[in-house]
Chain A
Amino acid sequence: MISEHREYSEHPQQSEHHGHSDAPDGETAPLALKILVAGGFGVGKTTLVGAVSEIKPLRTEELLSEVGQSVDDTGGVDQKVTTTVAMDFGRITIRSGLSLYLFGTPGQDRFWFLWDELAQGALGAVVLADTRRLDDCFPAVDYFEHRHIPFVVAVNCFTGARRYTDEEVSRALDLDPGTPVVLCDARDRASGKEVLIRLVEYAGRMHTARLLDSVG
């Protein structure tokens, strides 16, 4: 995992100071942080990204070649199947030189290997949940728990869906104690901001705890 994060220059050994990569003039280099937004299909990931992003959510595409997988019968022609996976993302500029990028994770389970790349160096994740289909977010919860990536569960309160308390959701998802559950409206900017603030606070606490662990 670490190996992917070498300096992209001829000086891989330098610049290990809290993510400030070495700027030639001694200034702090621009810093970007990454937050993932995960959850089942149609739960409102792009809506949440759009609500808090200062830019209209952009889309990146990754071409994937699924080698050796015969999907279509193309009359005996051996073909590599190329799939396009789209990821929506948004940006929040905290100040000049410090920005936050939000990435909606590809919804389908078969593209999970893409998550590994997305998750590298991520500050944390928001798992968006719909109480009417709570099991849709189990895979995301499992994924982040196993990789010790700080995450909060944000329950998108759809109109007409029964309201549950955060304790009820926490129990239903069998979350580790301490994992925050936030009720939100993914369309609402203030609500989305609150979700992100809770995540960053939680990520900070997790990190401090881990530092103390490594010292003790």
Chain B
Amino acid sequence: MKYLPTIGIECHVQLSTKTKLFSEVDNDARNKEPNSCVSPVDYALPGMLPRLNGEAIRFAIRAGKAMNCEINLESRFDRKHYFYPDSPKGYQITQFYRPIIGAGYVELPSGTRIRIEHAHLEGDAGKLTHFDNYSLVDLNRVDTPLIEIVSQPDIHSAKDAHDYCKELWRLMRFANVTYGDLYNGNMRFDVNISLAPKDSDKLGVRAEIKNLNSFRSVERAVEYEIVRQTKILEAGEKVIQETRGWNDATGKTTEQRSKEEAKDYRYMPEPDIPPIHLTTEFVDEEAMRLPLMPVDYRKKFDNVIANDTLEVLLDYPELMLKLGEINEKYAKNISNLFASVLLAEEKSTEYLNDLPSVKDLTDLAEMNTKKELSSTATKEVFLRLFDPQMKGRGSKQIAKELGLIQENDLGALETIVDAVLAKPETAKAQADFRAGEEKVIGFLVGQVMKESHGKANPSAVQQILREKLK
């Protein structure tokens, strides 16, 4: 490729605070009637004043710290004006001049660092649903707290764009500031992308693709734009600075608004909210609430859990928390169990609503390590730990009840082996093996397993058999 893509991403994260950013109304509008989570402040009755939600400030601090950002001890709000029915006040309350979150960086799994320019707090807009000759307005989402995270243009590939968005999603969930439900728009991405010749020190003209709501669509949109802009440049034409929309079905971006039509938002300091003054103690106290972050787990489990496995598990903060509590010698074992289930099962995340206790997981791993449970049996017990009927009984009890515990006592095994070898029906197999027919050992092991009702450890059995048949 002759051209180097340069990509910057703005990400909106809906915060899962109890109440809205500027009113005391329930912020969780999931499964609620339209316009049922709206206060007079949110629908902009005359004379209503915003009341800043302190919890949102705490969330912003955690989000910022999760991205290794400076927290600005002094920040304030501004008004961004535009007319549209999704904005009852006629302006959005945002932080244009003095954002709460300053510069920082996000480290991708590959180790690449993407710098964060800043991130700010703001209120979300309402939702319009358009019909033939009318539109319906739902203001439930108005002034749900958002943080908008603005990256530096440090991204140069579709994959890194994907990984950056995914890593942000993980960080926000580890920081416990959002439900992180992408399907419902809890996180939305705007991607700025331009192409310039590889040896050029100037950036090209950029297009902005607005409102992407999955990592995959970010990746695909970037791939598409690289092709589209390359074609334009190859043809000797110029890329137009514009806002484009992404169509997931066609896999294309289409023109929405050009720069000439760009709005003048007439920013103004918000006079109804005094500036925010934070103390370093307050910021530090909030930062202390952050659990271990993905980057910490990558270090902690380096050489313990395979990278691929760890990257799967890092999508689940509660699971990682549990894994962190488990004795490190069992971490690999248990992480493999979780990974196999999460990769295989259709509704895998349901498994994570109610995780087994550390003791159950430890017991299970211990039984497996001691060869009391075969790998198949281990997985079976593991699955039962999520079964509402069984889970209360604990790993050991479940293993016993299911008769899955392997016989490892060599003395006992030897007795069983001797009994099997004494049986006339195994005589031929014994002779064949002695004659060098290696594969009949399987038959003999099978017979021993049968005799032990499946509880024998097959590798131990084989060892004894080989010893006896020498």
Tell me, yes or no, whether A binds B. Answer: no
